[in-house]
Chains A and B, each alone.
Chain A
Amino acid sequence: MTWDRRTEDRAAAIVGRYPEKRSAVMPLLYLAMAEDGYLSEDGMRRVAQLTGLSNAQVQGVASFYTMYKRDGVGEYLVSVCTSISCMLLGGDDVLDAVAAETGVADGETGEDGLFSVEHGECIGACGGAPALQVNYELIEGVTPDHGRALCRWLAENRPAVVRGDDLQERFGGRRSFDWGPVEAGGATGAVPAFGPLGTAGEGS
């Protein structure tokens, strides 16, 4: 299997950035995921061919990191942190609320493909706990009610792009002191935009 011309060119550019082909495995996996909307077996096979790793080795990397989705995800991936700080401040209740509002259980995707819900490990926002992410855009100080309202709003408005600042404004609570600058673009799906890090194989 090969991808279309444009994707193959990007893949070649990514591989070209590293002295060892195998070092390109992670950005290539994002590329494969962007291609199919999730990390398909064919996508992993192609990454194996491009890196000289075996399929099993690529699967090993892909299955280690939770942000590589090997099953399809909904339009909005809601990741609720349940690690220690968030757990102490009610993260599990937020998760329950989000699951109840969307009708999608932890680790699942709804039948209509709108929401995926998952619990996450610490997302680096302990100071603003409890925190959650929509398509990896961060919102802090989220109560169960906030979580429910957030999901309702997403379902009603279906924004094509979600932006952390915007969501924080609408549904967030107390922020941590080190709330950093937010990426201008926002998120269009569950595949993180890895372009700004210079690993996307575009331009250069």
Chain B
Amino acid sequence: MAEQPTLVTITVDGKPAQVPAGTLLIEAVKAAGVHIPHFCYHPRMKPVGMCRMCLIEVEGPRGMLLTTSCTTPVADGMAVHTESDTVKKAQEGVLEFLLLNHPLDCPVCDRGGECPLQDQTMACGPGESRMVEEKRHYPKPIPISDLVLLDRERCILCARCTRFSDEISGDPLIEFKGRGNAVEVNTFPDEPFASYFSGNTVQICPVGALTATPYRFRARPWDLEAVESTCPHCSVGCRISVQSSRNQVLRFMGVDNGPTNQGWLCDKGRFGFEYLGSPQRLAAPLIRNADGVLQEAAWSDALDLVAERLGALAAGGPDVVAGLGGARGTNEEAFAFGKFLRETLGTNNLDAQLGDGLDARLLAGITARGTIDDLERARTVLVWAPDLKEELPVLYLRVRRAATELGARLIVVHPRETGLDPVAAHTIRYRPGAGTELLRRLADGSGDLAEARRALGEGPVVAIVGRPGAGDDPRLAEAVLAFAAGLPGATLLPVTRRSNVYGAADMGLDPGLLPGRVAAPAGTGGRDAAGIIEGLIAGEVAGLVLLGADPVADYLEPARAAAALEAASFTVAIGLFLDESAAMADVVLPALGFAEVEGTVTNLEGRVQKVNRLLPGPAGARPTHEILEDIARRMGGSIGAASAEALAAEMAATAPAYAGITWEALSWGEGRRGIVAPGPAGSQPLVHAPEDHAPPPVGRNLVLHLARVLYDQGTLTQAGPSLAKLARPAAAHVHPEDATRFGIPAGATVRVTGSGGSVELPTVFDPSLVAGTVYLPLHCGASIGAGLEITMEAVS
């Protein structure tokens, strides 16, 4: 698809070279094979020409001119010199200046060994400094947030960090302060650098001025082992480098994958590795003993017990057992789980989601599915979805880029303000439950929506659609997608958050789907998550297999899920932690997790990427596919899972959309960027027709907007000390008008009662809501169920 760039001819150090027109000299010269030292220039940000390190000589009408190659566009016929004596002298001079005040504390600097300043000083710098005066001194380091530390005297004032915060992430909480010799990067007093993207500044700082608390003093770069992989925290699927020392993951670094993350990571992804080394990881199987206590057991005993109990239950009919989960692991694990449930247990009761996302048939079978990179060419972008900044943060960066850098018109539809609102051309708010009505008005372009509707008529349109809140009916998203599909040049991105939920759908972890985006034959039956949970409570389902799923904490009606596990006659939980659901299981089997197994994952655009193994994991834990195979064998069957790679080969051979997507293909060259599995047009036609639905009447009552925040009480977030402390306590967001109506003074505590119970919370006034709506963050230690209608009263 990439258009061939036009080429111009330049001369680099006397040699002619063909380089793409319109690029900056620094890039053009790089394309010709010559590296120019630089600090402030970053290929994903606008050039500023601040550090002067990239000086080269350009021949001009008035002779040779020293020019910053990062700010000069290439022109046909240009002749440049990168190694002349003048250039060398300039480089030495610049480095001597940059080092005037530098403390040269490389031996105790995290960056030492991978420091552009160190490297380029060695390569191009003067041997000695002529500075004999006292250098600047600052107290060091100062924390500028919970995650980032600043050593001001190491800073070379390149403005990469401040430009990132302003241009890319849009939260300029750091800026240069002072003047002349006293300039430093800093925050406003009492306003820390609490950006969701702060870790990127640590990665792009060309010196050791910005360091991350989870990594500081933990390793030297040359001691690290690294492997490229895919971030396991959400369905954007950012490319990362996993780096470890002595079998402990110490950091994730962003890898620049043009079509997805463009080098950036969110802090949840970047610092969300600590859970892997958590002492709470399960390291041995647990069996509930006669006293009802979970007790460590041998693998063979645990597997025998699981096989015996599941076998006995499954003999009672296909509907008696069920499986939940598989949306957080690899495709291979999901594929194995599906085979185990369908072939070994003979049930079609299976769901990778917990009723909180979109219909899996939609995820797997949407026509006109877009890619994230479509945003680069979009004229209009419609986001009717969760707050992307909270749930899919790097997708937020890409949409923000489309709106701020690429001139796309952004339309955001959400029940309250979202992270994208400041860059949106149109923000449209609605009351949860009234989405269908709003969609009708938007489609008609009636009243105040005329402008937005006009913008939607200008393609190409990218529509990012999901469930803005838990209370929004998933069929609303389908209706929005159906509307968007008719817009000019439209491509569609149905979004939901769990990291490999798209892979799980593609692997058939849904009653309505078979592996490879194939619809299950009509009349196949089977229960989805809600059906399984209600079935367990009703006694129609008796056995449950959980794979990395924690319905007791995650299900939108947690009380129902707890009742279901209570009612189950046998539950086995396979996972990394003794989470709330595992704590109620009869057998708990410890599995290996991210960076401990090899496989593939599929992101929200259907891009299949490799995840790789770097660590052995806890001694007692085993790979999921082996666990499932061992149970299957004890039951007299097999899922044919000799190895994860064998499963991958079987997938590539049998799942139509995955034909040819082998590990080999994903490990080298262009394949490392991932391969987008062809859409349903290329495999099995599958159109999921949206149904119309009427929102429940809300009248004078309040409705609930229940939506996720980035740092919540989730198991993986809480198991890592760095992220755990970022979770904020829950508060009820109340519209000021409602506060008046219900007599709630500012800061008062309210009792909110919903479909699944009631909770007392402090209030925050939130005028961005539509009156009549209360917003609660999901999974913040308070659950009242997801039913739309709620009541609220002040408590004294």
Residue positions of A touching B, CB distance < 8 A? 41, 44, 53-57, 59-60, 63-66
Contact = CB atoms under 8 A, between A and B. Distances in A.
A39 to B, nearest CB: 12
B178 A56 contact: no
Q: Which 10 A-B pairs have the closest CB atoms?
A: A55-B188, A60-B175, A56-B175, A54-B172, A56-B188, A63-B177, A64-B179, A57-B175, A63-B178, A60-B176
A64 B178 contact: yes
Interface of B: 166, 171-179, 186-191
B179 A56 contact: no
A21 to B, nearest CB: 13
Nearest to B174: A56
A53 B178 CA distance: 17
Given A44-B188, A56-B186, A59-B188, 7 more contacts: A41-B188, A53-B172, A54-B172, A56-B174, A57-B166, A57-B172, A60-B176
Contacts of A66: 179
B179 A59 contact: no
Contacts of A56: 172-175, 177, 186-188, 191
B171 A54 contact: yes
B145 to A, nearest CB: 12
Q: Which of B171, B172, B175 has the most CB of A within 10 A?
A: B175
Q: Which of B172, B179, B187, B188 has the most CB of A within 10 A?
A: B188
B173 A54 contact: yes
B171 A41 contact: no
Contacts of A44: 188
A55 B178 CA distance: 14
A57 B167 CA distance: 13
Contacts of B174: 56
Nearest to A59: B188
A54 B193 CA distance: 12
Contacts of B188: 41, 44, 54-56, 59
Q: Which of A56, A63, A64 has the most CB of B within 10 A?
A: A56
A65 B179 CA distance: 8
Contacts of B175: 54, 56-57, 59-60
Contacts of A41: 188-190
Nearest to A52: B422
Interface of A is mostly: helix
A53 B188 CA distance: 12
A53 B191 CA distance: 14
Nearest to B171: A54
Contacts of A53: 172
Contacts, number: 39
B48 to A, nearest CB: 15
A196 B177 CA distance: 29
A64 B187 CA distance: 14
B176 A55 contact: no
A59 B190 CA distance: 13
Nearest to A41: B189
Q: Which of A41, A44, A55, A60 has the most CB of B within 10 A?
A: A60
B152 to A, nearest CB: 14
Contacts of B176: 60, 64
Contact of B179 (A54, A55, A57, A63): A63
A117 to B, nearest CB: 19
18 contacts: A41-B189, A44-B188, A53-B172, A54-B171, A54-B173, A54-B175, A55-B188, A55-B191, A56-B175, A56-B177, A56-B191, A57-B172, A57-B175, A60-B175, A60-B177, A63-B179, A64-B178, A65-B179
A44 B190 CA distance: 13
B415 to A, nearest CB: 24
A71 to B, nearest CB: 13
Nearest to B170: A54
A64 B176 CA distance: 9
Contacts of B179: 63-66
Contacts of A60: 175-177
A79 to B, nearest CB: 15
Contacts of A59: 175, 177, 186, 188
A53 B166 CA distance: 10
A82 to B, nearest CB: 14
A85 B34 CA distance: 46
Nearest to B176: A60
Contacts of B186: 56, 59
A184 B184 CA distance: 39
A139 B172 CA distance: 41
Nearest to A62: B177
A189 to B, nearest CB: 23
A57 B185 CA distance: 11
Contacts of B191: 55-56
Nearest to B187: A56
A168 B172 CA distance: 46
A12 B187 CA distance: 27
Contacts of A54: 171-173, 175, 188
A44 B177 CA distance: 13
Contacts of A63: 177-179
Contacts of A64: 176, 178-179
A133 to B, nearest CB: 19
A63 B184 CA distance: 11
B424 to A, nearest CB: 15
A60 B176 CA distance: 5
Nearest to A60: B175
B193 to A, nearest CB: 9
A67 to B, nearest CB: 12
A122 to B, nearest CB: 13
A27 B562 CA distance: 61
A182 B190 CA distance: 42
Q: Which of B166, B171, B173, B177 has the most CB of A within 10 A?
A: B177
A130 to B, nearest CB: 21
A64 B157 CA distance: 14
Contacts of B177: 56, 59-60, 63
A45 B191 CA distance: 11
B191 to A, nearest CB: 6
Contacts of A65: 179
A60 B171 CA distance: 15
Contacts of B171: 54
A177 B174 CA distance: 45
A55 B187 CA distance: 8
Nearest to A65: B179
Nearest to A58: B188
A33 to B, nearest CB: 17
A52 to B, nearest CB: 9
Contacts of B173: 54, 56
Contacts of B189: 41
B379 to A, nearest CB: 25
A64 B180 CA distance: 8
A102 B175 CA distance: 36
Contacts of A57: 166, 172, 175
A56 B176 CA distance: 8
A140 to B, nearest CB: 25
A177 to B, nearest CB: 30
A167 to B, nearest CB: 28
Nearest to B173: A56
Q: Which of A41, A57, A66 has the most CB of B within 10 A?
A: A57
B252 to A, nearest CB: 27
